[in-house]
Amino acid sequence: MKATRHLLCLALCGVAAFAHGADVSRAPVDVIPLPAQVTYAGEPFNVSAQTPIVVDGGDAAARRAADYLAALTARTRHLPLQVKNAPVPGPAIVLKRDPQALVANAEGYTLDVTPQGIRVVAREEAGLFYGAITLWQLLTPAHGTGDVKVAAVHIRDEPRFGWRGLMLDSARHFQTTDEVRTLLDQMAQHKLNVLHWHLTDDQGWRIEIKRYPELTGIGAWRTPPDAGEGGEPQRYGGYYTQDDIRAIVAYAAERHITVVPEIDMPGHAQAAVASYPQVGVTGRRPPVSPDWGVNPYLYNVDDASLHFLQNVLDEVMALFPSSYIHVGGDEAVKDQWKASPAVQARMRELKLKDENALQSWFIGQMGQYLSAHGRRLIGWDEILEGGLPASASVMSWRGTQGAIDAAKQGHDVVLSPAPQLYLDQMQSDRADETTGRLPSMSLESIYAFEAVPKALDAKQAKHVLGLQANMWTEHMPTLRHIEHAVFPRIDALAEAAWTPAPSRDWHTFLDRLPAQLARYRGQDIGYADSAFAASIEVDRHAAIANGHASVTLSNQSKYGSLHYTTDGGAPGANSPLYVGPFMVNLPTAVKAVALADDGTPLAAVRERVLDVAALRSRTTGELDNCPGSDFRLRVQPTPDATSLSPTYLINVFDNCRLYRAAKLDGIAAISVDIARLPRNYQLAHDAKLVVSHKATTPQGELLVRLDSCKGRTLATLPLPKGGPATFTLQGALARQSGVHDLCLVFTSPITGPLYGIGKVSLLPAEVAAKATP
């Protein structure tokens, strides 16, 4: 074990025994997900441009896998490999399908590297493809181009689960077809095999339905809040033509990925009702929603509305050959059904006891229709409420209980719980993170997820099809946002879905990850480095009082050797190695970076300026929620922002933040950088939880209170009426001594905008005097 890792209590270099009792005595191959069996023996094999990829002449499936491997290796390693038909004399890479292959699973394969060549064998094309992906990873270690030596290994591999999924939400924010292909390419490289494609919701209808052209003519476009201001477009939207969808489905199939479409019903229907009001309950035409959250619009339950949806499903089934069709079924607030005499009459006619039973009947109608056409229904776990058709499967998102209940009733399940597998959860609470929900779900937390709940016995556990991570895009408006959220957490997901549970080991996973990060860089994938980014911590109060600070460095994953500088230079392998807290004199700037064993940076350099002004300031991520609500969300100034920053941490239920442990001795004023943000959130029955703070002016004030949000008011800073979207409020602060919490309360009307705090600075008298006009 290297000394640098030892100092940081980092990853073990040894390798745990793999499944089926295979002993491994060398460091693991840089493959993610980790294969089921790996053994080592003999000398490596050198692959050069003269090494052919050989397939049987009549095997089109093997040829497809070989062509894919050759193209991917040429693009990422700049190593051109020629595909040739057997027989070819001399050393070669052989890809072969063999019905007698020693793998039981259609996605399984064996891979052997000897001094004489490389041989990948599988029963089916999918297995051969995944063997080719593993080989590509062996050909693309962290560094270099061209020729590569591949260690002599024997791999026997197959997936743990048949459903290894990623959900992409294209309804809230629209991705181009090329962007969808980028994600499909990465899914294939991680051996994920299901793209759950969320195509309709309140905020947009993204799939062309020729029988109902207004679904995209109207439903694909929304008018954003504050349209035309601050970079927000006048009109936001887009949709996929049927030709687009056929091309994407075919592209996915070439990579052994099944695309499962989601058409939401009976709730999340506002874009459809905006297009065809007659399929809604009220008969009124709402706008396509610019608001996130839970909207009230439902489909009607009359025969005409059911027929409308069945016609939609006809075209959906013609485009998507998947066995499963996802019908949503989540967050259907029943208020419109309860208020409708016609719906209530329908319930009585059907002899249903309540609206949950009506939803069950509604989902049952769709399930029967899909079943009659040779398809299976899958929906979010709310479809369990009121009963479930026997053939339906459940995707459990409200924790794991839905999966447990469904499996015990004999239904197949996919584990996709929030927040554990929701990729719109931020992956750290760092100040430099971009948008997302909190609490954060780290790389390690996703790696540790176990898809089979302990509450299931062996028979019930067989109903677990697998697991899926969800990429909801309310706060992910661009592909760069999505890439930051997905990568590298998709590596942890892939290993949880593919690798046998006894073989998974967090430490060896970290050892294999630097090579994968290099593959991302080579393919221009904007992955997040949050797990490895250096955190630079000091005791603020001690530093201000003493003029020097004790600096502590760490990172989330506790992986890599941390190096630092205090002289303004960029840290690297030749910079001081962090072995424990070190002292610096103020003012200074500390820069730090985590390096892999070979000296490659695992993350971008992080810098922290240490001077009195900075130590008396807190940025948005350093402010806490006020008591009463744990809801935390990090947003940008506009809903459709195209950059990754700035961001503001807010609570939509209480526009109030806490500045913890402020040292107030000598402080005479406060300065607060603020952004006016749209309150575009539909909260349904939770709207009653929104806190209103009493104001003394129509537009409200920012109040600064001592110790608690009911404490004495130290400052009242009136909010401007109109004006720019970002502004700074500064005012005198009643003199105090000692260390106190400061509660910053916005008293603006809850029917108006939210206010996000970018930074709070405490100013001593001499600074406040200079800053005052």
Per-residue pLDDT at 4 exceeds 70:
no
Per-residue pLDDT at 24 exceeds 80:
no
Per-residue pLDDT at 553 exceeds 80:
yes
Condensed to tens digits (0 to 9), the pLDDT of residues 96-128 reads 999 888 888 999 999 999 999 999 999 999 999
Per-residue pLDDT at 629 exceeds 80:
yes
Q: Give the Cβ contact number of residue 322 at 10 Å.
A: 22
What angle, 0 to 180 degrees and rounded to 10, lies between the N-to-C axes of helices 125-139 and 506-522?
A: 80
Q: Rounded mean pLDDT of 514-524?
A: 97
494 phi and psi, to 5 degrees?
-60, -40
What are the respective helix, strand and coil percentages of the chain, to the nearest 5? 30, 25, 45
Per-residue pLDDT at 17 exceeds 80:
no
Q: Dig out the tokens for 544 from the structure.
A: 């201000």
As a whole number, the mean pLDDT across the chain is 94
Per-residue pLDDT at 150 exceeds 80:
yes
What is the pLDDT confidence band of residue 772, given thresholds at 50, 70 and 90? low
DSSP, residue by residue, 206-247: -B--TT-THHHHTTTEE--TTTTSTT--SSEE--B-HHHHHH
Helices marked H in 60-219? 60-77, 125-139, 177-189, 214-217
Per-residue pLDDT at 3 exceeds 60:
no
Give the angle subtended at the CA of 392 by the CAs of 386 and 455, to the nearest 5°. Answer: 75
The reported pTM is 0.94
pLDDT of residue 453: 96
CB 108 within 8 A of CB 122: yes
- DSSP 3-state assignment of 110? strand
Condensed to tens digits (0 to 9), the pLDDT of residues 286-295 reads 999 999 999 9
Of 88-102, 189-203, 540-554, 650-664, the range with the lowest mean pLDDT is 88-102
Condensed to tens digits (0 to 9), the pLDDT of residues 240-276 reads 999 999 999 999 999 999 999 999 999 999 999 999 9
Distance CA 665, CA 534 (A): 31
- Checking 280-286 for CB contacts under 8 A at 24+ apart, the result is 280/336, 281/336, 281/337, 281/339, 281/340, 281/342, 281/343, 282/336, 282/340
DSSP, residue by residue, 549-617: EEEEEE-TT--SEEEEESSSSPP-TTSPBP-S-EEEESSEEEEEEEE-TTS-BSS--EEEEESHHHHTE
- Which residues sit opposite 319 in a β-bridge? none
Q: Dig out the tokens for 292 from the structure.
A: 């996130």
What is the pLDDT confidence band of residue 144, given thresholds at 50, 70 and 90? confident
Spatial neighbors of 66 by CB under 8 A, at least 6 apart, are 53, 55, 83, 95, 132
Per-residue pLDDT at 692 exceeds 80:
yes
- Which residues sit opposite 379 in a β-bridge? 394
Amino acid at 764: P
Condensed to tens digits (0 to 9), the pLDDT of residues 469-516 reads 999 999 999 999 999 999 999 999 999 999 999 999 999 999 999 999
Structure-model confidence comparison of residues 760 and 387, the more confident one: 760
Give the angle subtended at the CA of 523 by the CAs of 517 and 527, to the nearest 5°. Answer: 45
84 phi and psi, to 5 degrees?
-130, 155
Spatial neighbors of 710 by CB under 8 A, at least 6 apart, are none
Per-residue pLDDT at 9 exceeds 60:
no
Condensed to tens digits (0 to 9), the pLDDT of residues 36-50 reads 999 998 899 999 999
pLDDT of residue 771: 59
For 569, counting Cβ atoms within 10 Å of its Cβ (0-12 exposed, 13-18 middle, 19+ buried), the class is exposed
- Which residues sit opposite 380 in a β-bridge? 395
pLDDT of residue 531: 98
Per-residue pLDDT at 12 exceeds 60:
no
Distance CA 360, CA 375 (A): 18
Q: Is 722 left (phi over 0), alpha (psi -120 to 50) or beta?
A: left
Per-residue pLDDT at 26 exceeds 70:
no
For 770, counting Cβ atoms within 10 Å of its Cβ (0-12 exposed, 13-18 middle, 19+ buried), the class is exposed
Condensed to tens digits (0 to 9), the pLDDT of residues 333-387 reads 999 999 999 999 999 999 999 999 999 999 999 999 999 999 999 999 999 887 7
CB 370 within 8 A of CB 325: yes
Spatial neighbors of 50 by CB under 8 A, at least 6 apart, are none
Condensed to tens digits (0 to 9), the pLDDT of residues 693-708 reads 999 999 999 999 999 9
What is the pLDDT confidence band of residue 588, given thresholds at 50, 70 and 90? very high
- DSSP 3-state assignment of 695? coil
Q: Rounded mean pLDDT of 741-750?
A: 97
pLDDT of residue 28: 61
pLDDT of residue 770: 67
Active site positions, annotated? 201, 268, 331
Condensed to tens digits (0 to 9), the pLDDT of residues 717-730 reads 999 998 899 999 99
Which whole-number Å values give the CA distances from 613 to 543, 550, 567, 591, 618, in the listed order? 11, 17, 19, 18, 10
Condensed to tens digits (0 to 9), the pLDDT of residues 177-216 reads 999 999 999 999 999 999 999 999 999 999 999 999 999 9
